[in-house]
């Protein structure tokens, strides 16, 4: 009698062991796939600008160098490609740090109104090129202090506003507003009347490398990492990010921040 019970216990243990091993291997496989996909994405993102740069250099070497105006134009374009590569590498560096939790927040009290104004100043030219008006709507006088990592929040605002310009329409608007939210929080909204996002794509926006327009000849450059970075930074602050969008109407991204005490 006892022998059978022991046998049963043993069998159960063996089964449990096998089940655990299976789960372990599956999770390793998931991680391995994840890594493989990440590397695949990186090389894909780097290839387009690299080949562009190479294209201009080769054309110059093959004779275009002789014409002064062509030479200048091609060198400028090659330089744009290099700038884009640098931009992608910076984003990759940032996302890697954020994903391994290697980014310490440097939180302090600062005036969020001033920060939005700074970001507007920096992006004014970019917006003007597309004749997009940047507007700011606040309930407060001229200061509202929040407690957060200023530099990271500047990046969040920059990424969101740059997107509203990139995916905005000519003569469109981007509005930033700040309002009281639940107790001790403010809600910062970035609203555009741009191309908008289809419902089925909204849930995937914050994934690394996700883009609505996947064609290699996208008119808007970028790394496909901007929103993944934004989400990581907001969540590192233990805050929330929301998105609402309608195709051909516009998008609204918003996130919360803690008010300074
Ligand atoms: P990137 O802009 O480099 O492609 P992001 O992670 O910043 O990468 O954005 C991912 C995708 O989300 C974009 O490619 C675009 O399709 C979509 N998107 C982001 N912001 C907006 C916006 N304001 N309006 C419309 N589409 C947007």
Spatial separation of the C-alpha atoms in residues 139 and 137, rounded to whole Å = 7
Q: Residue 109 forms beta bridges with which residues?
A: 147
Residue pair 87/126 in contact by the 8 Å Cβ criterion: no
Residue-level pLDDT at 147: 98
Structure tokens, 2: 């006892």
Residue-level pLDDT at 61: 93
Rounded distance from Cα 131 to ligand 1 centre (Å): 19
Residue-level pLDDT at 217: 45
Residue-level pLDDT at 133: 97
Question: How many CB atoms neighbour CB 17 within 10 A?
Answer: 10
Residue-level pLDDT at 3: 62
Structure tokens, 26: 């599956």
Residue pair 254/188 in contact by the 8 Å Cβ criterion: yes
Residue-level pLDDT at 33: 86
Residues whose CB falls within 8 Å of the CB of residue 53, separated by 6 or more in sequence, listed in order: 78, 81, 82, 85
Rounded distance from Cα 102 to ligand 1 centre (Å): 25
Rounded distance from Cα 3 to ligand 1 centre (Å): 65
Q: Which atom of ligand 1 is nearest to the CA of 91?
A: 3
pLDDT means per 10 residues, the chain with 261 residues, are 75 92 91 85 88 94 88 94 92 89 91 96 96 88 92 97 95 94 92 95 91 67 89 96 96 97 90
Q: Whose CA is nearest to atom 19 of ligand 1?
A: 163
Q: Whose CA is nearest to atom 23 of ligand 1?
A: 164
The DSSP-derived string for 147-203 is: EEEHHHHHHHHHHHHHHHHHTSPTT-EEEEEEEE-STTEEEEEEEE-SS---HHHHT
DSSP 259: B
**Quick one: the chain helix, strand, coil %, rounded to 5?**
55, 20, 25
> Phi first, then psi: what are they for 101, rounded to 5°?
70, 30
Rounded distance from Cα 228 to ligand 1 centre (Å): 10
Q: Which atom of ligand 1 is nearest to the CA of 228?
A: 6
Rounded distance from Cα 53 to ligand 1 centre (Å): 24
The DSSP-derived string for 92-141 is: HHHHHHHHTT-----EEEEEHHHHHHHHHHHHHHHHHHTTPEEEEEESSS
């Amino acid at each position: 009698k006892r022998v059978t019970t022991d046998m049963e216990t043993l069998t159960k243990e063996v089964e449990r062991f096998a089940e655990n091993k299976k789960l372990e291997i599956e999770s390793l496989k998931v991680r391995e796939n994840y890594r493989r996909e990440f590397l695949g994405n990186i090389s894909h993102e780097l290839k387009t600008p690299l080949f562009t740069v190479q294209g201009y250099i080769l054309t110059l070497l093959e004779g275009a160098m002789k014409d002064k105006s062509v030479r200048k134009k091609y060198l400028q374009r090659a330089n744009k490609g290099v700038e884009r590569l640098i931009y992608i590498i910076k984003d990759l560096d940032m996302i890697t740090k954020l994903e391994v939790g290697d980014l310490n927040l440097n939180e302090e009290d600062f005036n969020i109104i001033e920060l939005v104004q700074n970001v507007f100043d920096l992006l004014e030219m970019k917006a003007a090129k597309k004749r997009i008006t940047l507007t700011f709507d606040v309930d407060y006088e001229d200061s509202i202090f929040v407690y957060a990592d200023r530099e990271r929040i500047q990046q969040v605002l920059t990424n969101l506003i740059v997107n509203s310009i990139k995916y905005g329409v000519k003569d469109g608007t981007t509005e930033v507003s700040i309002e009281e939210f639940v107790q001790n929080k403010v809600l910062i909204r970035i609203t555009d009347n741009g191309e908008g996002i289809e419902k089925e794509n909204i849930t995937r926006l914050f994934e690394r490398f996700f883009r609505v327009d996947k064609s290699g000849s996208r008119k808007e450059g970028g790394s496909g990492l901007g929103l993944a970075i934004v989400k990581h930074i907001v969540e590192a602050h233990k805050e929330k990010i929301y998105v609402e969008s309608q195709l051909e109407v516009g998008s609204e991204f918003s996130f919360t921040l803690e008010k300074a005490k």
